[in-house]
Amino acid sequence: MLRPLSLLLLLLLSSALIVRVNSHQESGEWSCESDSESRIESEFRPGLITLDGHADDWKDIDGFEFPLLPALDPHEDHEYKGGKITVKALHDGHDVFFMLQVDGDYVYSKGNSKKCPSIALMFQIGEGASYHDMGGCTEGKDTCTNKTCKGHEVDIMHFSIGNAIPGRLYGGNPIDNRDGYGGDRFGHLVDLYAWTPHCRYLDGTGPSGNDTSAQNEWKGAWWHSSFSVHSGFVEEDSPYASGGQKGTYYFEFSRPLRTMDRLQQDAQFTLGGSSKMSVAFWYPLDGQPWHGSGHYSINCDWVPLDISSGISKMSVRGGSGNVSSAFALLLSVVSLCASAFVGYRLFKPNHAPFTPMENL
């Protein structure tokens, strides 16, 4: 009679132990059970996307769904309540495009970006740059430089919409790009780079001085499905819709695959190549402003971003390449037979006498 009881006790004890070990891991050492299957594919689809924040033109493009877990403590219990985020990507041979869709009740507070949702993309630049700690350089704020943190560079695009009119284009603009840095004074869609969360700079600026050769190459727009007007908002229309309405936020971005960066501050994309990226999302829960590190992330490690080349896509698609080449072979065999037959008819001894037309 005692044995099952003691077994139960042992079980309870050991499960309590496991829970304790788990919680210890979370608060101490960083642990990540990354979904190694997940990846984002950027197809070659020229002439499809208008950069306006609307998702209609993306409807035939496959999306990749990710749960949004707190970036600093990726625990399923604290997943973003609004649901998963859908990431879509494609390129036209020159620019890469992203569409991010996430459900969320409409909140907007003009001029206060921390009381509006916000979104960021992050890409690996240096080969040693980890997802965790935004590059993972071990230098502190006072000692991180492009020398001490070499190889840990990450590229970041951050869009804070508090001053951005929905449907309007923000990001790189002639005025900020003339100053040679990654800022955006109009809509705060900025181009940054980092080595750690504490060593984050606008492109062209840095701890060892500014270099005015940088540019903000990103462009983007946002939208929410509760808006009833489909074009032409101006600043006076803010907050553009009444708060609290259910719906979906849309964030749409583009950037040239290659940039003229000479400072190792931009990720460079290659046709047929693969890059590493992540997506961060901020949402003002219960109307409270979010803080910088309170963001959700699509994964606790890099997610591969495949930039498919136009050629490989055509031959890979559903094995139709094989079918069409077999058909081409059949066609060439048929035409060879036909030409042999014509040749035979031409050169075989002609028994039928030649009949001039006028004799018919």
Ligand X SMILES: *[C@@H]1O[C@H](CO)[C@@H](O)[C@H](O)[C@H]1NC(C)=O
Q: Which of 4, 28, 111, 209 binds ligand X (CB under 6 A)?
A: 209
CB of 212 to ligand X, least distance (A): 9
Q: Token pair of 59, please?
A: 């409807």
Of the ranges 201-209, 265-273, 276-284, 312-320, which one interacts with ligand X (CB under 6 A)?
201-209
Per-residue burial over 331-346, b if 16 or more Cβ lie within 10 Å, else e, is eeeeeeeeeeeeeeee
What track of x and - describes contact with ligand X for positions 35 through 74 (by CB under 6 A)? ----------------------------------------
CB nearer ligand X, residue 192 or residue 305 = 192
Write down the least CB distance from residue 222 to ligand X, Å: 25
Please, is 292 exposed, middle or buried when counting C-beta atoms within 10 Å of its C-beta (0-12, 13-18, 19+)? Answer: exposed
CB-CB contact of 296 with 69 (8 Å): yes
Does residue number 208 form part of the binding site for ligand X (CB under 6 A)? yes
Q: What torsion, rounded to 10 degrees, do the Cα atoms 34, 35, 37, 38 define?
A: -100
CB-nearer residue toward ligand X: 210 or 248: 210
278 binds ligand X (CB under 6 A): no
> One symbol per residue from 301 to 340: x for binding ligand X (CB under 6 A), - otherwise; what is it?
----------------------------------------
| Span between the terminal Cα atoms of the chain, in Å | 118
Distance CA(284)–CA(354), nearest Å, equals 93
Q: How far is the CB of 183 from ligand X (least distance, A)?
A: 7
Q: Quick check: 211 binds ligand X (CB under 6 A)? A: yes
Q: Looking at 122-130, 161-169, 185-193, 207-215, which segment touches ligand X (CB under 6 A)?
A: 207-215
Of 136 and 207, CB closest to ligand X: 207
Beta carbons within 10 angstroms of residue 96's beta carbon: 20
State in angstroms the smallest separation of the CB of 163 from ligand X: 18
- Binding span for ligand X by CB under 6 A among 67-75, 205-213, 242-250, 341-349: 205-213
Residue 37 has phi, psi (to 5 degrees) of -75, -25
* Residue 3 is a binding residue for ligand X (CB under 6 A): no
Could you say whether residue 210 binds ligand X (CB under 6 A)? yes
Distance in Å, CB of 147 to ligand X, minimum = 5
Provide the token pair at 187: 């809509």
Nearer to ligand X, 41 or 139 (CB): 139
At 272, list the tokens.
């047929």
**Residue with Cβ nearer ligand X (4 or 209):** 209
Query: Cα 157 from chain centroid?
Result: 10
Residue 54 or 200 having the CB closest to ligand X: 200
Report the distance separating Cα 47 and Cα 240, nearest Å. Answer: 30
Torsion sign over Cα 221, 222, 228, 233 = negative
State the binding string over 143-162 for ligand X (x if CB under 6 A, else -). ---xx---------------
- Is 142 a binding residue for ligand X by CB under 6 A? The answer is no
Query: Closest CB to ligand X among 180 and 310?
Result: 180
> Rounded to the nearest whole angstrom, what is the least distance from the CB of residue 300 to ligand X in the complex?
30
> ∠ at Cα 85 (109, 199), nearest 5°?
70
Q: Which residues pair with 248 in a beta bridge?
A: 103
Size of the site for ligand X (CB under 6 A): 9
The alpha carbons of the chain give a radius of gyration, in whole angstroms, of 29
Question: Residue from 118, 205, 216, 278 that binds ligand X (CB under 6 A)?
Answer: 205
Which residues contact residue 134 at a Cβ distance below 8 angstroms, ignoring those fewer than 6 apart? 122, 154, 156, 194, 195, 196, 197, 200
Give the footprint of ligand X on this chain (CB under 6 A).
146-147, 205-206, 208-211, 263
